[in-house]
């Protein structure tokens, strides 16, 4: 019998949610896939109680859909859902970027710059999971530097629905390379305290991600890479 994860009971479901979220974001659980509680309980080495609590958390984020009398499944978005949600997140990130450029401190900028170099190394290795985790940290820190709790909470709520799609937006090598160049420019604009420039760049950055995701949806490549194909090739 699998050992139960040795984590305090009151935070166990949060740790399970982190692991389950990662599987969804990285495509190990594809959009529309049913969540088999027995299999997940065994693979995550937890009982079903914290697993069910974690699933409820992810449902609140929009990553999981609860099915009446049928358990739960990974949420699937239509093309219109994707377009509408990216439209909102682009506006939120644009505002975050403009305010961050005005309010960011040197220590915060240094942290973002250091993460940027780590992200570049992951890109060079074609290590998309590591790249994405660092990328997400950078966007979170830019949002935090805006110093607006209402904006931050709204951004987190909308962004949670898009994590898996933002990950997949880098499946194409040329689009991934373009995203990296846009991040290079973000560092420059933050250092220059160029608020309007940051707003414009982040809106463009998110529109490019939207277009990449919609292209994957229309060509049937959203749910994963073809067998044998490496990320970024």
Q: Each residue's pLDDT tens digit in the chain (233 positions)?
A: 344 444 455 578 899 999 999 999 998 998 899 999 999 999 999 999 999 999 999 999 989 999 988 899 999 999 999 999 999 999 999 999 999 999 999 999 999 999 999 999 999 999 999 999 999 999 999 999 999 999 999 999 999 999 999 999 999 999 999 999 999 999 999 999 999 999 999 999 999 999 999 999 999 888 754 333 344 43
27 sits in the region (left: phi over 0; alpha: psi -120 to 50; else beta) called: left
Residue range(s) in the chain whose domain bears CATH number 1.10.10.10? 9-74
Quick check: 165 and 82 in contact, CB under 8 A? yes
- pTM: predicted TM-score of the whole model, two decimal places: 0.83
Q: What is the 3-state secondary structure (H, E, C) of 114-163?
A: HHHHHHHHHHHCCCHHHHHHHHHHHHHHHHHHCCCHHHHHHHHHHHHHHH
Fold of 79-218: 1.20.120
Query: Running DSSP on this structure, what letter comes out for residue 187?
Result: H
Using CA atoms, how far apart are residues 13 and 203, in angstroms rounded to an integer? 35
- Where b means 16+ CB within 10 Å and e means fewer, 104-137 reads beeebbeebeebbeebeebbeeebbeebbbbbbe
- Tell me what pLDDT residue 224 has: 56
Residue range(s) in the chain whose domain bears CATH number 1.20.120.530? 79-218
- Tell me what pLDDT residue 69 has: 83
- Tell me what pLDDT residue 229 has: 39
- Tell me what pLDDT residue 12 has: 87
Fold of 9-74: Arc Repressor Mutant, subunit A (1.10.10)
- Interaxial angle between packed helices 173-191 and 106-124, expressed in degrees from 0 to 180 and rounded to the nearest 10: 160
Reading the block at residue 34, the tokens are 């049913």
Distances (CA, A) of 169 to 115, 155, 214: 20, 19, 9
């Amino acid at each position: 019998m699998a050992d139960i994860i040795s984590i305090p009971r009151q935070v166990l479901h949060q740790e399970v949610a982190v692991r389950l979220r990662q599987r969804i974001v990285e495509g190990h659980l594809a959009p529309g896939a049913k969540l088999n509680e027995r299999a997940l309980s065994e693979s995550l080495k937890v009982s079903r109680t914290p697993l069910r609590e974690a699933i409820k958390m992810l449902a609140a984020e929009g990553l999981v859909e609860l099915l009446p009398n049928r358990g739960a499944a990974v949420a699937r978005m239509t093309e219109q859902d994707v377009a509408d949600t990216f439209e909102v997140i682009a506006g939120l990130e644009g505002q975050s970027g403009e305010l961050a450029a005005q309010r960011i401190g040197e220590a915060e900028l240094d942290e973002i710059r250091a993460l940027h170099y780590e992200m570049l190394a992951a890109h060079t290795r074609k290590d998309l999971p590591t790249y994405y985790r660092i990328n997400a940290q950078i966007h979170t820190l830019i949002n935090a530097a805006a110093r607006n709790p209402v904006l931050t909470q709204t951004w987190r709520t909308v962004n949670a629905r898009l994590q898996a799609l933002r990950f997949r937006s880098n499946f194409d090598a040329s689009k991934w390379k373009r995203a990296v160049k846009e991040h290079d420019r973000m560092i420059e604009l933050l250092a220059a305290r160029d608020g309007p420039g940051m707003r414009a760049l982040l809106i463009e950055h998110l529109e490019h991600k939207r277009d990449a995701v919609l292209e994957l949806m229309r060509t049937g490549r959203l749910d994963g890479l073809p067998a044998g194909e490496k990320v970024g090739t």
